[in-house]
């Protein structure tokens, strides 16, 4: 048996596993896995540096399957190369509780680097990983960080707008360690791509500043694939796109180049026919020959030597430059240096400061002690409080700074931030809250996956003023709170804003920080109470005098209204408590008795928030909210006209008390 024959049988094994798993599940996407089996083989056996026995090795090459519907291609490779997936896991493809879900999920399966499936996200993530690698390599040297990013994308990925945004940024920056293979198979679920897509992808990516290699009809030519990947690797100054013409479902007699091979099981008879063409036993399912498995397991262990060498280099780095190595460790741990939280600023009660400005002040204070903080805004860096120019700006072939200018690319920014997070940074990105709608797809994947990303959204209400209802968020708070897996923090003042950063840096997963454009007062009590209060999600900011008769609960810029209204009501002898509730999710995670201590059951409760009232019935008996779009006017006028005044809060409180009586 020659090596070439062994390799071919290995490739056929990948195809067989993909067909069998999809057929057993009776759903899935076998065609792309069949067509790209040779490419996956070359990547995992000839090109990438990784160690299957240590999937989390920080300096491994990263593989991003942006075409996540072809998940069986990846699962087959992870089984064969020894990442811990067993044949039984492949048999359980797409089943309840299995380690092989329909689309890859971040670290749900050992060796899966990212959650992919929503098309276009993966290529944006790959840009983010490449940006993180470039940043860490320039800051800490190649002894600490020296790896590459390989991605497979398809027509669907390049049709989605998010991929355009991310690719444009990658070309501008010159991320030369990113090599993406475009599977140009001309097939979508609806039919040939030409029914809706006649782009010149080659010309488009060249215009973005990418190095483009037209591989042509070499999907089954291992040496040609390896040469193409080597050419991409050799291009140091630009990201590379290798355009590969493949034939989906090959060598299926009935379904090669057919939409059926894209999204359906082939059927038992067709699976048998393909296996016969490939010289495989048509009656054998999930078959892996011993010598084929040995070949792949050897490839999976081959990177152990590189990992050992990296560990030695990293050890020498830690000995020779302990302070710098500690910063690198903090990046990989996505945390701060010891005692970092002492740098968080504290404001005294009095003069107003917009919470977006407080965000910038907090970032300025901690960027030097939380080394992983890297980010910026989508052309709104100064407006959103995400400017840290003194920490250095990332630009074309200059990667060592901490400030990224993402341009007007909200969705692309979100996908890139997700990739930066898994690449070893604590990324943050800002835009106006209303434009969170543009990036929602990326935010959802971050929430689903637990990526540690700070989404900074300013101009959080009608208080932003004259830009009018197109820019004034109304339903966004309720929509984001409905998303599992993300903390939505709307701080009442500067002190709560600073503590929101502490919650994020010390926590896991993504955070949405929702900030005001307009100035809000620094409230009496937040300097002392916000440290424990923000992490609890809600806390009494103003205590009642005497028996508790009413609770006013607010978020963000409306907490000040609650404080003033409570003062008026207290003058009449009422026992009123003011609760600041910056984060529903953190509060909901508290034990029932702790929640009841803050919002006692049976006590009339009025919520005040300049946003849709949807969902507040969970915590309040009535809501001063906004269940309509805003209006173009100065912010204070818009707030007044739409009922966000102390007078109206007092009146609504009186009405609630009367109703309760």
- Supply the DSSP string of 50-118, one letter for each residue: --TT-TT-TTS-EEEESSGGGHHHHHHHHHHHTSS--HHHHHTTT-TT-SS-SS--TTTSTT--S---S
Across 163-174, average pLDDT = 98
Please check whether residue 558 is in contact with residue 608, taking contact to mean a CB–CB distance below 8 angstroms.
yes
For residue 1, the model assigns a pLDDT of 44
User: 267 phi and psi, to 5 degrees?
Assistant: 100, 145
- Rounded percentage of the chain residues whose pLDDT exceeds 70: 100
Please name which of 430, 340, 416, 414 lies closest in space to residue 379, comparing C-alpha atoms.
Answer: 430
Please check whether residue 101 is in contact with residue 78, taking contact to mean a CB–CB distance below 8 angstroms.
no
Question: Which tops the pLDDT comparison, 350 or 163?
Answer: 163
**Beta bridge mates, 550:** 576
Give the number of other Cβ atoms within 10 Å of residue 283's Cβ.
Answer: 8
For residue 592, the model assigns a pLDDT of 98
Rounded distance between C-alpha atoms, residue 498 and residue 346, angstroms: 8
Please name which of 503, 548, 540 lies closest in space to residue 524, comparing C-alpha atoms.
Answer: 540
Task: Tell me how far the alpha carbon of residue 321 is from its chain's centroid.
Answer: 32
Rounded distance between C-alpha atoms, residue 590 and residue 595, angstroms: 6
User: 113 phi and psi, to 5 degrees?
Assistant: -80, -25
Angle at 560 between CA 604 and CA 499, to 5 degrees: 100
Catalytic residues, by residue number, are 410
Is 490 a residue whose pLDDT tops 70? yes
Across 42-54, average pLDDT = 98
Cβ contacts of residue 527 below 8 Å, gap of 6+?
A: 346, 347, 348, 349, 495
E-assigned strand segments in 523-654: 539-542, 550-554, 576-580, 605-608, 622-624
3-state secondary structure of 181: strand
Please check whether residue 181 is in contact with residue 152, taking contact to mean a CB–CB distance below 8 angstroms.
yes
User: For residue range 319-343, what is the model confidence (pLDDT) as tens digits?
Assistant: 999 999 999 999 999 999 999 999 9
Is 3 a residue whose pLDDT tops 80? no
Rounded distance between C-alpha atoms, residue 331 and residue 371, angstroms: 6
Across 158-177, average pLDDT = 98
Structure tokens at 415: 């996908």
Is there a cis peptide before residue 307, judged by omega within 30 degrees of 0?
Answer: no
Place of tokens 């050799």: 234
User: For residue range 191-206, what is the model confidence (pLDDT) as tens digits?
Assistant: 999 999 999 999 999 9
- Rounded percentage of the chain residues whose pLDDT exceeds 90: 98
3-state secondary structure of 529: helix
Please name which of 334, 333, 340, 394 lies closest in space to residue 365, comparing C-alpha atoms.
Answer: 340
For the chain, how far is it from start to end, CA to CA, in angstroms? Answer: 89
Rounded distance between C-alpha atoms, residue 537 and residue 169, angstroms: 36
Give 361-367 contacts, CB < 8 A, sequence gap 24+. Answer: 361/494, 361/498, 362/497, 362/498, 362/501, 363/387, 363/388, 363/428, 363/501, 364/388, 364/390, 365/498, 366/336, 366/340, 366/501, 366/505, 367/391, 367/402
For residue 432, the model assigns a pLDDT of 98
Across 217-228, average pLDDT = 98
Rounded distance between C-alpha atoms, residue 650 and residue 292, angstroms: 76
Please name which of 178, 175, 165 lies closest in space to residue 204, comparing C-alpha atoms.
Answer: 165
- Supply the DSSP string of 414-471, one letter for each residue: HHHHHHHHHTT-EEEEEEEGGGGGGGHHHHHHHHHHT---EEEEE--SGGG-TT-TTT
All domains in the chain, ordered by first residue: 3-305 (3.40.50.970), 340-522 (3.40.50.970), 535-660 (3.40.50.920)
Rounded distance between C-alpha atoms, residue 122 and residue 575, angstroms: 54
Is 2 a residue whose pLDDT tops 60? no
Please check whether residue 270 is in contact with residue 253, taking contact to mean a CB–CB distance below 8 angstroms.
yes
**Beta bridge mates, 521:** 352
- Supply the DSSP string of 134-166, one letter for each residue: HHHHHHH-TTT----EEEEEEHHHHHSHHHHHH
Please check whether residue 577 is in contact with residue 528, taking contact to mean a CB–CB distance below 8 angstroms.
no
For residue 107, the model assigns a pLDDT of 85
Structure tokens at 22: 């999809």
Is 145 a residue whose pLDDT tops 70? yes
Average pLDDT, the chain: 97
CA distances for 642 relative to 521, 564, 628, 634, angstroms: 21, 18, 10, 12
Q: How confident is the model at residue 660 (pLDDT cuts 50, 70, 90)?
A: confident
Across 255-270, average pLDDT = 96
Across 547-551, average pLDDT = 98
Rounded distance between C-alpha atoms, residue 10 and residue 411, angstroms: 39
Is 408 a residue whose pLDDT tops 60? yes
Rounded distance between C-alpha atoms, residue 169 and residue 157, angstroms: 16
DSSP code, position 125? H
Is 254 a residue whose pLDDT tops 80? yes
Structure tokens at 67: 């075409």
Please name which of 24, 18, 21, 34 lies closest in space to residue 252, comparing C-alpha atoms.
Answer: 34
User: For residue range 425-458, what is the model confidence (pLDDT) as tens digits?
Assistant: 999 999 999 999 999 999 999 999 999 999 999 9
């Amino acid at each position: 048996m020659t090596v070439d024959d062994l390799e071919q049988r290995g490739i056929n094994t990948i195809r067989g596993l993909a067909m069998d798993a999809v057929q057993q599940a009776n759903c899935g996407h076998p065609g792309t896995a069949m067509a790209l089996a040779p490419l996956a083989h070359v990547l995992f056996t000839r090109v990438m540096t990784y160690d299957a026995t240590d999937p989390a090795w920080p300096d491994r090459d990263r593989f991003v399957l942006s075409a996540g519907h072809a998940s069986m291609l990846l699962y087959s490779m992870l089984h064969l190369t020894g990442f811990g997936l067993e044949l039984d896991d492949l048999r359980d493809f797409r089943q309840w509780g299995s380690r092989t879900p329909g689309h890859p999920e971040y670290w749900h399966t050992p060796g899966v680097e990212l959650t992919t499936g929503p098309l276009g996200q993966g290529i944006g993530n790959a840009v983010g990983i490449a940006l993180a690698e470039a940043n860490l390599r320039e800051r800490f040297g190649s002894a600490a960080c020296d790896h590459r990013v390989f991605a497979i994308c398809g027509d669907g990925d390049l049709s989605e707008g998010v991929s355009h945004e991310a690719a444009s940024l990658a070309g501008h920056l010159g991320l030369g360690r990113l090599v993406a293979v475009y599977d140009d198979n001309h097939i979508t679920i609806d039919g040939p791509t030409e029914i809706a897509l006649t782009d010149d992808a080659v010309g488009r990516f060249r215009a973005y500043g990418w190095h483009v290699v037209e591989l042509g009809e070499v999907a089954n030519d291992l040496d040609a694939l390896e040469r193409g990947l080597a050419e991409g690797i050799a291009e140091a100054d630009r990201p590379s796109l290798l355009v590969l013409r493949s034939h989906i479902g090959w060598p299926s007699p009935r379904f090669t180049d057919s939409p059926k091979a894209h999204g359906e099981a082939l059927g038992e008879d067709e699976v048998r026919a393909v296996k016969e063409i490939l010289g495989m036993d048509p009656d054998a399912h999930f078959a892996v020959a011993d010598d084929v498995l040995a070949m792949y397991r050897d490839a999976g262990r081959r990177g152990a030597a590189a990992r050992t060498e990296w560990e030695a280099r990293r050890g020498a780095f830690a000995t020779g430059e302990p302070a710098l190595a500690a910063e690198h460790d903090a990046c990989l741990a996505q945390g701060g240096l010891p005692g970092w939280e002492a740098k968080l600023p504290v404001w005294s009660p009095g003069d107003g400061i917009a919470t977006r400005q407080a965000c910038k002040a907090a970032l300025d204070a901690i960027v030097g002690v939380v080394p992983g903080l890297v980010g910026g805004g989508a052309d709104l860096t100064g407006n959103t409080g995400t400017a840290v120019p003194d920490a250095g700006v990332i630009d074309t072939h200059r990667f060592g700074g901490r400030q990224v200018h993402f341009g007007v690319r909200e969705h692309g920014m979100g996908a890139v931030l997700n990739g930066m997070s898994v690449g070893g940074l604590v990324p943050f990105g800002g835009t106006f809250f209303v434009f969170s709608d543009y990036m929602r797809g990326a935010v959802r994947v971050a929430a689903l996956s637990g990526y540690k990303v700070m989404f900074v959204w300013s101009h959080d209400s009608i208080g932003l003023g004259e830009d009018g209802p197109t820019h004034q968020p109304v339903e966004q708070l309720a929509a984001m709170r409905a998303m599992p897996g993300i903390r939505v923090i709307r701080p009442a003042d500067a002190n709560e804003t600073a503590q929101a950063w502490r919650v994020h840096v010390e926590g896991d997963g993504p955070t949405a920080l929702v900030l005001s454009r307009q100035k809000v007062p620094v409230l009496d009590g937040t300097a002392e109470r916000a440290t424990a209060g923000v992490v609890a999600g809600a806390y009494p900011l103003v205590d009642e005098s005497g028996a508790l008769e009413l609770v006013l609960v607010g978020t963000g810029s409306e907490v000040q209204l609650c404080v003033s209204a409570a003062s008026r009501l207290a003058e009449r002898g009422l026992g009123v408590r003011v609760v600041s509730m910056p984060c529903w999710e953190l509060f909901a995670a508290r034990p029932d008795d702790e929640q009841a201590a803050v919002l006692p059951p049976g006590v009339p409760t009025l919520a005040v928030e300049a946003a849709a009232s949807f969902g507040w019935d969970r915590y309040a008996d009535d809501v001063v909210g906004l269940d309509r779009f805003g209006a173009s006017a100065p912010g204070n006028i818009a707030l007044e006209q739409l009922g966000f005044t102390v007078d109206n809060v007092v009146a609504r409180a009186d009405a609630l008390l009367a109703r309760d009586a």
